[in-house]
Amino acid sequence: MKVSEARPSGRACRGELPLLTRGLPTQIFVNTALDQMNRFSREQAEAEFLKCCGSRNWAREMSEARPFASIDDLLAKAESVWSSLSEEDWLEAFRAHPKIGEKKAAAAQSDQARNWSVQEQSGTEDAAAETKAALAAGNQEYERRFGFIFIVCATGKSSGEMLAILNERLQNDPDTELRIAAEEQRKITRLRLEKLLNR
């Protein structure tokens, strides 16, 4: 189930269809992708799910929950499993992301997850030097304050917007911020699952 790297376009979450599915109606491809996910071995399914969320327990539970009757069924289960996980599971998922404005995550990423991270953070590519410096300083302050990296669903956001969100969230207490970060991860996971299935 490989969706090739998305080409620049006005649609933030769409990848290019694999060669074997080009020209087919989108719904046929989606059903085929979901069917393939349901047929994967446990190890294969976990590897696919880990591209979307770096928590191993989340990926394992999603693999074990198959087969899914529909994409909506899969997405609902993804959110249910995520909300049931421990704080350490959430932190593990956070570590699978590069810091905003950077390329490399603390934990290992698949090539596809790495490419998605670049696409999601594309709003920082043309940022002014002072904005990039402010993001880097804010990332450091955030990590010192909360003990994990700043997580935001960056798709469609400019560098200025992300910096403003970072500065605002630095005012939160640790418990509140952990919940906000987990909600941002939930949004990222959903977008990536939709990319994986080309919804």
For residue 56, the model assigns a pLDDT of: 98
Chain center to CA of 165: 18
For residue 104, the model assigns a pLDDT of: 55
**Token pair of 120, please?**
């999601």
**Token pair of 85, please?**
């996980």
For residue 199, the model assigns a pLDDT of: 63
> Exposed e or buried b for every residue in 162-172, given b needs 16+ CB within 10 A?
bbebbeebeee
For residue 71, the model assigns a pLDDT of: 95
Query: Amino acid identity of 42?
Result: R
- Looking at the domain covering 24-196, what would its CATH class be? mainly alpha
For residue 108, the model assigns a pLDDT of: 59
The answer to which of 71-75, 127-131, 165-169 has the lowest mean pLDDT is 127-131
Determine the Cα–Cα distance for residues 92 and 54; give it in Å rounded to an integer. 6
A 10 A CB-CB count for 43 gives 9
Read off the pLDDT band of 141 (50, 70, 90): very high
For residue 24, the model assigns a pLDDT of: 47
Determine the Cα–Cα distance for residues 183 and 186; give it in Å rounded to an integer. 5
Q: What is the mean pLDDT of residues 38-55?
A: 97
Nearest to residue 152, comparing CAs of 134, 140, 139, 141?
A: 139
Asked if residue 193 lies in contact with residue 116, where contact means CB atoms within 8 angstroms, the answer is no
- The rounded mean pLDDT for the chain is 83
Read off the pLDDT band of 114 (50, 70, 90): low
13-17, 18-22, 27-31, 48-52: which is most confident: 48-52
Of residues 177 and 25, more confidence is placed in 177
Q: Which residues are catalytic?
A: 97
Quote the percentage of the chain above a pLDDT of 70: 72
Asked if residue 34 lies in contact with residue 28, where contact means CB atoms within 8 angstroms, the answer is no
Instruction: Compute and round to an integer the Cα radius of gyration of the chain.
Output: 17
For residue 3, the model assigns a pLDDT of: 37
Asked if residue 150 lies in contact with residue 166, where contact means CB atoms within 8 angstroms, the answer is yes
**Token pair of 71, please?**
């994409």
Report whether pLDDT(34) > 70: yes
Asked if residue 81 lies in contact with residue 58, where contact means CB atoms within 8 angstroms, the answer is yes
* 4 Cβ contact partners less than 8 Å away, ≥ 6 residues apart: 15, 16, 18
